[in-house]
Amino acid sequence: MIPHARLDAVTEADLRALIDHGVRESRTLDYKRDWPAGRDARAELAKDVCAFANSLGGDLVFGMREEGGAAAEIVPLQYANLDADLLALTSALRDLLEPRVSGGLHAHPVPLAAGGHVIVLRVAPSPAAPHRVTRDNHFYARTSVGKEPMDIHGIRHAFAAGTALGQHIREFRDDALTRIERREIPVAEFAGPACVCHVVPVSAFSRQDAHGVDALVAAGEKLRSVRGANAFVMSRPRVNLDGVVCVPHPNESTRGYVQLHRNGAVELVYADLLFHSPLDDPGGQSLLPELYEKPLVHGGLPAIVETLAALDVAPPAYLMLSWLVGPVTRIAVERPYNRADFIALPAHLGRISAPPIYLEDFSADPLTVLGPAFDVLWNAVGVAHTQTDFAAADPD
């Protein structure tokens, strides 16, 4: 795969670097000199896409001649209608695979200074794997020397691995929540409810490698832009057992943190979410969702996306939002005529988890992504959707 998490960041210089360094085809990279214009060419290409989707994902580079498997020369491609040709190709490829690759298939045209384009087609590892090619009904996998049909043992393993992937990601989230509940956390003790956001790339579990500490520290600098309920300022990332962590500056009272794990997963915790309400007992407090919803939309998720890009972690990923609440936690709910209620969550709920959200890419609007997850907590008190006004300015 070309070393850029953001496909739209790939430039002609990156392509020429492949040639200068003699980068060879691999399990995640394949060169194609010609554009697959005909039906048979696209059917053959579907085998490559199938193999990438069933394995680790990867990039297909059209307009690159190879010699002995190494990038050798850029051969510019010319198009009468570039957008139409890209749409026709991706649509055809989706139709040639079963189940369809609904997401995780993105084409990026790289303009060349001398004219023409090179097309990079990025295929994400698919959570719906294994796929097969409808033309020949074969399942394909990607190896270091190219694509190859799976035998019966490979097919059985692929089905088992596809089922296990989602389970592993959910177990990672659940184990993390248990550690937070036990206060096995990289910050001082905090009291009261917490909102926890996990972004777990599929590659965190589809690959067995881990990111080096130096890369984690460099990428973790992006997490310093995270702001919490009280606009706290994050300290520089520091190394810990799980990777690197950013915590609030020592003079801040807020107890949130951001953990960047060695496998590329990110854990963002917002704490100190309580405030005193008129319906509380003396000394009691209630949870105000605005204290984590607005920071997560305006700063938290964008910072996570920038961190993953800096770490060269490519989509797809799963976003999972959870809440750890006390035995009696009230939620501030607006009512007509400028009234407000403070409704208690059901007493048996100590941990609430929204369904995982699949991120095909990292360019989606944060509010569009997070809105359905925010709604889950509101649903627990009988409100359909979040009541937070995301357009309103934060008070000074």
Confidence of residue 354 (pLDDT cuts 50, 70, 90): very high
Question: Each residue of 81-113: b (16+ CB within 10 Å) or e?
Answer: eeeebbeebbeebbebbeeebebbbbbbbbebe
Which residue in 75, 67, 61, 60 sits closest to 22, CA to CA? 67
- Is 307's pLDDT higher than 60? yes
Residues in the chain: 396
- Is 396's pLDDT higher than 50? no
Query: 209-234 pLDDT, tens per residue?
Result: 789 999 999 999 999 888 765 555 67
Question: What are the two backbone dihedrals, phi and then psi, of residue 289, each rounded to the nearest 5 degrees?
Answer: -55, -30
Cα separation, 265 vs 307, whole angstroms: 10
pLDDT score of 154: 86
pTM, two decimal places: 0.79
For residues 269 and 194, the answer to whether their CB atoms sit within 8 Å is yes
Which of 19-28, 106-115, 242-251, 286-295 has the lowest average pLDDT?
242-251
Cα separation, 356 vs 358, whole angstroms: 6
Residue boundaries of the structural domains of the chain: 7-150, 163-379
Q: Is 114 helix (H, G, I), strand (E, B) or coil?
A: coil
Q: Which position has the higher pLDDT, 268 or 143?
A: 268
Q: How far is CA 63 from CA 26, 71, 160, 227, in A?
A: 17, 10, 36, 44
Query: 167-199 pLDDT, tens per residue?
Result: 889 999 999 999 998 888 887 767 678 999 999
Looking at 221-340, list the stretches that DSSP marks H as alpha helix, in order from N- to C-terminal side: 290-295, 301-310
- Average pLDDT score over the chain: 87
Confidence of residue 253 (pLDDT cuts 50, 70, 90): low
What is the second-level CATH architecture of the domain 7-150?
2-Layer Sandwich (3.30)
Find all residues with CB under 8 Å of 353, minimum gap 6, and list them.
173, 177, 320, 321, 322, 323, 376
- Find out whether the peptide bond into 356 is cis, omega within 30 degrees of 0: no
pLDDT score of 254: 60
- The amino acid occupying position 87 is L
Q: Is 205 helix (H, G, I), strand (E, B) or coil?
A: helix
Query: 357-373 pLDDT, tens per residue?
Result: 988 888 889 999 999 99
pLDDT score of 224: 87
Find all residues with CB under 8 Å of 336, minimum gap 6, and list them.
none
